[in-house]
Amino acid sequence: MKAKVAVLMGGDSSEREVSLRSGAGVSKALAKAGYEVVAIDVSWRWGKRKEHETLSGARPHKNDFVLCEGLLVDACTPMELAEKLLEYGVQVVFIALHGGYGEDGTIQAFLELMRIPHTSPPAKACMLAMDKRLTKQLLISTGLPTAEHIVVNKKDFVTTSIDEISKRIKDSFGFPCAVKPSSEGSTIGVSKVESEKGLKSALETAFKYGEWSIIEKWIEGVEVTCPVLGEGENAFALPLIEIVPKTASGFYDYGAKYTPGMSDHIIPPRLPKEVQEKARDIAIQVHRLLGCSGFTRTDMVIDKKGNVYVLELNAVPGMTETSLVPHAAEAYGWEFTYLVDWIVQEALRYWGEKER
């Protein structure tokens, strides 16, 4: 019998719905691979629910032990999670929580304190990846390519005129630019700003999701992404994917990411082989730089001259039916069931060696 796995999903971030879809897909695949699985919806909302109320959709009451499509499903608040993991005798955790405490190192540090292996990178790596300000500082300090940028604090935005911020942009790299929250994923809160006219609105949107925003030079080019698996010298890249959104703006937004048919994933990308290899190598370097293990996904853009620019590393990539990591794995020759099985086995190996 394989290990008892808890799949953590849901959460309280703006990416909750994506997380539920990722968790459901992973849970079914792990059960198919022969694991004993319990899917746990972790959210503070369950602490506010009356005892007679049920979970949303097909999920059962948190105190019921019922099978949903052949799987045991439960729910709890973050405060109750330790008790749940011990109650179920969980041996390894597959983290499918996106954003917030599920991706910023909080849940990872909690599991590491409990000495329960998990599928994400270590807590410190997740913290660095989640905060784009810190990621960019590390990239720049090691000479890895990333777009020029400035950072703006919410308090400064309130006290500083938009003209002053606009002047900083013009003095640095000019318009158009991308405005994004420093610590969000799934393109939530991200805007493309063509001129200073749209800057104030874009910053107001970004600051709904945190105290810091990044304003980044807009790089025209081919958007690609590269999943990386493993850790250290054993880390390796899956095939590179070219992303072609079908939105009217051509922007790879939340809808394009998670609505079937709203984007094309082209493998291999329509790029020279040497450029593809350079991008894959950079993705591996970023994965190692942040101290990642498990599986990550690095988003990049490649300009007309073949220059690669790192946008961000995703420490807990989506695992839905439209997600990029499963598509890259399929191109590599791995079915989804094999992929999640490999990820769990790698987690057991990695954290097992850490405890020796």
Q: Are residues 54 and 166 in the same domain?
A: no
Which one of the listed residues 252, 258, 309, 350 is annotated catalytic?
258
Question: β-pairing, 222-229 with 241-245?
Answer: antiparallel
- The residue from 217, 232, 252 where one domain ends is 217
What is the percentage of the chain residues whose pLDDT exceeds 90? 76
In a domain, 347, yes or no: no
Q: Are residues 193 and 256 in the same domain?
A: no
Q: Select from 77, 86, 96, 82 the least CA-distant residue to 39.
A: 96
Task: Give pLDDT, residue 256.
Answer: 58
Q: Select from 7, 11, 2, 353 the least CA-distant residue to 185.
A: 11
Q: Are residues 133 and 250 in the same domain?
A: yes
Task: Give pLDDT, residue 249.
Answer: 58
Q: Are residues 49 and 89 in the same domain?
A: yes
In a domain, 87, yes or no: yes
Which one of the listed residues 184, 312, 341, 346 is annotated catalytic?
312
User: What is the Cα–Cα distance from 32 to 102, expressed in whole angstroms?
Assistant: 25
Q: Are residues 168 and 19 in the same domain?
A: no
Q: Is 307 a catalytic residue?
A: no
Q: Are residues 154 and 136 in the same domain?
A: no
In a domain, 331, yes or no: no
CATH number reported for the structural domain that contains residue 289 in this entry: 3.30.470.20
Task: Give pLDDT, residue 278.
Answer: 98
Q: Are residues 136 and 271 in the same domain?
A: yes
Identify the H or E element spanning 178: strand 177-181
In a domain, 350, yes or no: no
Name 289's bridge partners.
none
Which one of the listed residues 13, 186, 263, 323 is annotated catalytic?
186
User: What is the Cα–Cα distance from 25 to 12, expressed in whole angstroms?
Assistant: 19
Find which of 59-63, 292-296, 318-322 is predicted with most confidence, using mean pLDDT.
Answer: 292-296
Task: Give pLDDT, residue 185.
Answer: 62
Q: Are residues 226 and 277 in the same domain?
A: yes
Does residue 57 register a pLDDT over 80? no
Rounded mean pLDDT of the chain? Answer: 89
Q: Is 349 a catalytic residue?
A: no
Does residue 72 register a pLDDT over 50? yes
Which one of the listed residues 21, 59, 280, 297 is annotated catalytic?
297
Query: Residues 66-74: what's their mean pLDDT?
Result: 66
Task: Give pLDDT, residue 197.
Answer: 92
User: What is the Cα–Cα distance from 319 to 93, expressed in whole angstroms?
Assistant: 15
Per residue in 322-342, pLDDT tens?
Answer: 899 999 999 999 999 999 999
Query: Residues 229-244: what's their mean pLDDT?
Result: 97
In a domain, 19, yes or no: yes
Q: Report residue 58's pLDDT band, with 50, 70 and 90 as the boundaries.
A: very low
Q: Is 299 a catalytic residue?
A: yes
- The residue from 217, 243, 266 where one domain ends is 217
Q: Is 277 a catalytic residue?
A: no
| Structural domain boundaries, residue 204 | 149-217
Which one of the listed residues 13, 314, 341, 350 is annotated catalytic?
314
Task: Yes or no: say if 173 and 252 are a contact pair by the CB < 8 Å rule.
Answer: no
CATH number reported for the structural domain that contains residue 213 in this entry: 3.30.1490.20
Task: Yes or no: say if 95 and 316 are a contact pair by the CB < 8 Å rule.
Answer: yes
Per residue in 141-165, pLDDT tens?
Answer: 999 999 999 999 999 888 888 999 9
In a domain, 349, yes or no: no
Q: Are residues 191 and 225 in the same domain?
A: no
Does residue 126 register a pLDDT over 80? yes
Q: Are residues 165 and 251 in the same domain?
A: no
Q: Is 312 a catalytic residue?
A: yes
User: What is the Cα–Cα distance from 308 to 295, expressed in whole angstroms?
Assistant: 21
Q: Are residues 111 and 242 in the same domain?
A: no
Which one of the listed residues 231, 242, 299, 346 is annotated catalytic?
299
**Residue 240 or 185, more confident:** 240
Task: Give pLDDT, residue 131.
Answer: 94
Which one of the listed residues 13, 14, 15, 21 is annotated catalytic?
15
Task: Yes or no: say if 92 and 281 are a contact pair by the CB < 8 Å rule.
Answer: no
Using DSSP's 3-state secondary structure scheme, residue 299 falls into strand
In a domain, 32, yes or no: yes
Q: Is 330 a catalytic residue?
A: no
Does residue 56 register a pLDDT over 70? no
Q: Are residues 10 and 87 in the same domain?
A: yes
What is the number of domains present in the chain?
Answer: 3
Task: Give pLDDT, residue 52.
Answer: 38
Per residue in 254-298, pLDDT tens?
Answer: 665 666 677 789 999 999 999 999 999 999 999 999 999 999 999
Q: What is the DSSP letter of 209?
A: G
Please give the structure tokens belonging to residue 107. 């849940």
CATH number reported for the structural domain that contains residue 58 in this entry: 3.40.50.20
In a domain, 353, yes or no: no
Identify the H or E element spanning 340: helix 336-354
Q: Report residue 62's pLDDT band, with 50, 70 and 90 as the boundaries.
A: very low
Task: Give pLDDT, residue 250.
Answer: 60
- The residue from 175, 197, 217 where one domain ends is 217
Query: What's the whole-model pTM score?
Result: 0.90
Please give the structure tokens belonging to residue 69. 């499509």
Q: Is 258 a catalytic residue?
A: yes
Least confident of 58-62, 69-73, 241-245: 58-62
Q: What is the DSSP letter of 240?
A: P
Q: Is 186 a catalytic residue?
A: yes
Query: Residues 184-194: what's their mean pLDDT?
Result: 81
Does residue 309 register a pLDDT over 90? yes
Does residue 133 register a pLDDT over 70? yes
